[in-house]
Homo-oligomer: A and B are copies of this chain.
Amino acid sequence: MYFCAMYSSELIKGTLKTIILKLLKSNGKMYGYEITQRVKELTNNKIQITEGALYPTLHLLEKEGEVETETENIGKRVRKYYTITPKGKVTVNLKVNEFMDFMNTMKFLLDLELDVGHAAK
């Protein structure tokens, strides 16, 4: 069912809040389903946020005051828009910086070719 060039799921762990907040920061108000679609599209299906992960995270972010909601009626359907708060903007900057730093560290670790001489391919 999944046409996965997707990353193994452990990798993505810990990045969900960062991704959501970053999208909301640079993209303005979005609703849940839209977030999943946008991420999928921007990453060529490599990152697919499941709804079981998304909605609980959005609710948590709201409880923490990182995002705010407003509902909009589309026909008979209710759509819930999320907007990043000032607190959320602080958080997202911290998180993005931390992740960038982490990537540099990992790149350093994974690029190392040390002593041993045979430096196996």
Contacts and interface: CB of A to CB of B under 8 A. Distances in A.
A53 interface: no
Contacts of A37: none
Contacts of A108: 42-43
Copies in the complex: 2
19 contacts: A8-B14, A8-B98, A9-B14, A11-B98, A11-B102, A13-B14, A18-B110, A19-B109, A22-B110, A25-B120, A26-B113, A26-B120, A42-B108, A42-B109, A42-B112, A46-B101, A47-B105, A100-B110, A103-B103
Interface in A77-121: 89, 96, 98-103, 105-110, 112-116, 119-120
The bracket for how many chain A residues form the interface is 35 or more
A38 to B, nearest CB: 10
B11 A11 contact: no
Contacts of A7: 98, 101-102, 105
A13 to B, nearest CB: 5
A112 B120 CA distance: 37
Interface string A18-47: 110011011110000000000100110011
Contacts of A14: 8-14
